[in-house]
Amino acid sequence: MSIWACPVENLPDGLDLITDLTIGKNVAIRSLPSSLSAKKVSITDCPIFEVVPPETRVGWLSIVRCNAFRVLPENLNCPDGLTLAGCNSFTSLPNKLTVGQRFYLSCDNVRLEGTAGLNVDTLEISGCPLIKTLPEDLVVKGSIIAERSHVEGISWDVWDKNDGKIILPHSCVLPSPPSADCGPAL
């Protein structure tokens, strides 16, 4: 289902789609319907779009250039991926977020704090000028890609806990391993 450049304000609650929902260039829609179920949801260039209801069930979610969008619901699960880009009112991640594949994040005012509830396979950060360091509790199953970001440093804890590859900007300060204290010399 595609709604493009059409000022639809509401979609029916309980909408269950076998395929995709694409909403673009819509100046009237503020929220996805309650209990939406879809394989893929893409919302682009919707200036007053604000809300993804907590009971939303999607495989892949993309929210791009929706300046009023502020927050994702707690316990959101996007097994196929999540993209948040150009949403300048978006400032923080929910306490619990699961992304089974790639999580692409590119929002000017977002911060990564308290990421213990973040469960992702691959995290890609692009831009995001307020993210200067990666939080010590950040654990990503696959890769962390931040080469086009403003990340300036990474702690040893993040480096050590993540098994996948970590790609950082050339200017990023890499951690030194902690010194090994083996007790008194004999």
Question: For position 179, what pLDDT does the model report?
Answer: 57
pLDDT digits (tens, 9 = 90+) for 143-184: 889 888 888 888 777 777 777 788 888 777 777 766 545 445
Question: For position 57, what pLDDT does the model report?
Answer: 92
Measured CA distances, 135 to 31, 78, 83, 93, 131 (Å): 31, 22, 20, 13, 9
Between residues 118 and 125, the one the model is more confident about: 125
Cα–Cα–Cα angle for 5, 14, 73, nearest 5°?
Answer: 80
Whether the Cβ atoms of residue 158 and residue 136 lie closer than 8 Å to each other = yes
pTM for the predicted model, two decimal places = 0.88
Buried residues in 125-163 as b, exposed as e (16+ CB within 10 A)? bebbeebebbbebbbbeebbbbeebbbeebeebbbeebe
What is the arithmetic mean of pLDDT over 93-102? 88
Question: For position 111, what pLDDT does the model report?
Answer: 87
Least confident of 68-77, 95-104, 109-118: 109-118
pLDDT digits (tens, 9 = 90+) for 40-94: 999 999 999 999 999 999 999 999 999 999 989 988 999 999 999 999 999 988 8
Placement of tokens 């200067």 in the chain:
132
